[in-house]
């Protein structure tokens, strides 16, 4: 199986045109064009944890920053991308250094 974006991995249906997009809204991860291409993903599809610092993740947006990041680090998708990217994996700190404020 090739590299998946988070909405493909989680099968949430919140990408543009997805089965849950109208009812739940399109996820910010699927539209964050400034992060397009990171880890070969579409928009923020393979670096969704970067959006957690801004509180864009519906799953944990009300939690304090440290908690949000902990949730992301423990996420099976985060672990998969980290494993797939190996030494080329970009954590939030790396993304901020490369792309500036998200």
Q: Which DSSP string do the residues of the chain spell out, in sequence order?
A: -----HHHHHT---STT-TTHHHH---GGGT-GGGTTGGG-STTTT-THHHHTTT--TTTTTS-HHHHHHHHHHSHHHHHHHHHHGGG---HHHHHHHH---
Looking at residue 20, its pLDDT comes to 94
What pLDDT, on the 0 to 100 scale, is given for residue 85? Answer: 97
d(CA 69, CA 80): 16
Domain assignments of the chain as residue spans, ordered by start: 6-97
Distance of CA 47 to the CA centre of its chain: 4
In the numeric block, which tokens belong to residue 87? 């030494």
Q: Is the pLDDT of residue 99 over 90?
A: no
CB 49 within 8 A of CB 30: no
pLDDT digits (tens, 9 = 90+) for 32-77: 898 899 999 999 999 998 887 665 565 556 777 778 788 888 999 9
17, two tokens = 């045109």
- pLDDT band per the 50, 70, 90 thresholds, residue 3: very high
């Amino acid at each position: 199986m090739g590299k998946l974006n988070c909405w493909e991995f989680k099968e949430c249906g919140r990408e543009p045109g997805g089965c849950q997009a109208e009812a739940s809204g399109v996820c910010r991860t699927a539209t964050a064009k400034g992060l397009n291409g990171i880890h070969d993903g579409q928009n923020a599809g393979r670096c969704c944890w970067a959006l957690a610092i801004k509180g864009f993740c519906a799953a944990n947006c009300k939690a304090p920053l440290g908690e949000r990041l902990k949730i992301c680090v423990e996420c099976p998708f985060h672990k998969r991308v980290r494993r797939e990217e190996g030494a080329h994996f970009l954590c939030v700190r790396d993304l901020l250094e490369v792309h500036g404020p998200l």
